Structure 1
Amino acid sequence: MKVYITRDKEDFSQVMAQMILKHMYSGKARVNLSITAGITPIRGYEILAESVRGRNYFDNVHYYVFDDIFIRGDKKEIYRTTARGEEPKLWPVKNPNAGIVRENLDWKYFVPAGVKDDRIHDITEENYGDIDRMIAQAGGLDMIIMGLGPDGHICGNLPGTVPYWNQGARKVRADTTPGTMKMVRSCLDEYHLTDESLLPEYYVSFGPKTVLDARHAILIATGSEKADIVRRVLYDPVSLELPASVLQLHRDLTVLLDQEAAADIMDKIGNQ
């Protein structure tokens, strides 16, 4: 495990973009990446998009969406949040059939970077059972970058939803736990909807095995509110109730933090 602690969020974003670019410049005929949505990487994606847009030598880079939630009904706009504490803004929905995660990745990175649709591979309610095989046939994931949830989740693997570690991409009942219900219901807010009958019965996600099979895993977190969960995930015993703790078993794990998120592990870092 390699831990990088940046000075501040801007430094964090610059380093994050460089870590992703390193894989894109690997010289491989095909590069397979899986990147996270969420607030934490937004500035990093802005920086990355500037380096990617208009450069056809990155056409060998493919992106795999690692989880998604599909809200039924007529979706015309989505609330987008560009920074913590900023008032959300409305964004036209690009593809009414896309999931909430894909829609977020579109406006945060894919559209600004000019990524072609045939380089983006969605996980859906129809194909989730084949995703691991599809990735393997394409050469495997070179890198997956994930945010850390406040409850210790990665991808859609929330506490109480992971029965065993050796599980690939899967669908999870939306009502499995209060945490899953809260996550799924929040999608209505993003789409500016209130009708709970539009909520799906399931969501789809990479499983722990899919994550562990990636050649390189990057875990990112910023802010003082993540300090405790960062310490628990990296240094408490590996536990199914703390799904992100499985990353301790990854063959090549990089952890990227700002100083606030790293506050509770400074004594651990000093002893490494």
Structure 2
Amino acid sequence: MEVLIVPTPDDVADLAASVVVDALPTSRPPVLGLATGSSPLGLYRRLGEAAAAGHLRVQDASGVALDEYVGLAGGHPESYRTVLEREVCDVVGLDRARLFVPDGTGADLEALIAAARRHEERIVALGGVDVQILGIGANGHLGFNEPGSALSSRTRVKRLSDRTRADNARFFASPEDVPTHCITQGLGTILSARSLVLVATGAAKATAVAAALEGPLTASCPASVLQWHADAVVVLDEDAAAMLANRAYYDASAAGLRLPG
């Protein structure tokens, strides 16, 4: 795991976009794993600039969503399909027909379980995710894998925690409008991506970031599974990195390998 710390959220967006572009394949159509939320918005804008400049191939790329709310009607402004169409397809240039999001509109649990299975199968059919973009919840959730999620879990239906619903209430007219359930890629599904790039900014994420990067590998902090991945890059601003105990080492490591002599 590589931890890169830069001064501001704008710097996080710049650096994370560079990491993503460098990690995506150029010899075949890339598959990009997409997170929602405020953390990756700057990153997506930078990817749009890279695509416009010809540094990122998006014409035949595919995008795979991490998760989706259950129970929001098609076209709802806060459904993650709508959000990703607005924030990724329209910004980066990804073809909407190649954006794959779990279907959270099923009428019953059986239909939702089938939708989760189809999303997992779609990822396999695409050949797997090349780079999975991630944020982190204030309670350490990854995707919508809340504390207590199995570390080997696959795409499934989950209940959202009260903390997550409260954090997301700002996007809805009232707290009661926030969905109670979701379909989310599991932690095992996320770990199947070839590369992971997590971005976090702001002091509100500092406790979760420290637990994920320096605490034990535990279901109590789902984002700690990043420690288990062979190619994970974490890009933080100063506020999000404020509680890291090993900050000096991360900075030295990011400066590069300098052998004595």
Residue by residue over 1:30-64, the C-alpha shift from the partner in whole angstroms, topping out at 9 and shown as x without a partner, is 21111211112222222221222596952221100
Matching of residue 159 in structure 1 with residue 147 in structure 2: yes
Decide whether the 8 Å contact of 2:165 with 2:175 is kept in 1.
no
Shift, 1:159, TM fit? 1.4
Residue in 2 that maps onto 1:169: 155
Say whether the 8 Å CA contact 2:70–2:180 is kept in structure 1: no
Alignment of 1:22-171 (within 5 A): 22-24=22-24, 26-53=25-52, 57-72=57-72, 96=75, 100-125=79-104, 126=112, 127-160=115-148, 162=149, 164-171=150-157
Aligned length: 241
Whether 1:209 and 2:208 are equivalent positions in the alignment is no
Counterpart amino acid of residue 151 in structure 2: W
Aligned counterpart, 1:251? 230
Q: Show the counterpart of 2:207.
A: 228
**Matched-pair identity in %:** 25
Quote the Cα distance in structure 2 between the aligned partners of 1:112 and 1:104: 11
Q: Structure 1 residues 180, 191: CA separation in 2 closer, same or farther (over 3 Å shift)?
A: closer
Aligned-pair distance for 1:133?
2.3
Q: Say which of 224, 241, 260 aligns to 2:220.
A: 241
How has the CA–CA distance of structure 1 residues 30 and 98 changed in structure 2, closer, same or farther, with 3 Å as cutoff?
Answer: farther
Question: What is the CA RMSD across the aligned residues, in angstroms?
Answer: 2.6
What is the alpha-carbon distance in structure 2 between the residues aligned to residue 270 and residue 13 of structure 1?
22
8 Å Cα contact 2:128-2:193 kept in structure 1? yes
Give, as a single letter, the amino acid of the residue that structure 1 aligns with 2:233.
Answer: T
| Structure 2 unaligned regions, length at least 5 | 105-111, 254-261
With structure 2 as the length reference, what TM-score do the two structures score?
0.81
* Structure 1 residues 102 and 148: CA distance shift in structure 2, 3 A: same
Gaps of 5+ in 1: 74-94
Q: Deviations over 1:190-225 (max 9, x none)?
A: 353x594x7656310000100111111111111222
SS at match of 2:183: strand
Distance 1:180 1:228, change over 3 A: closer
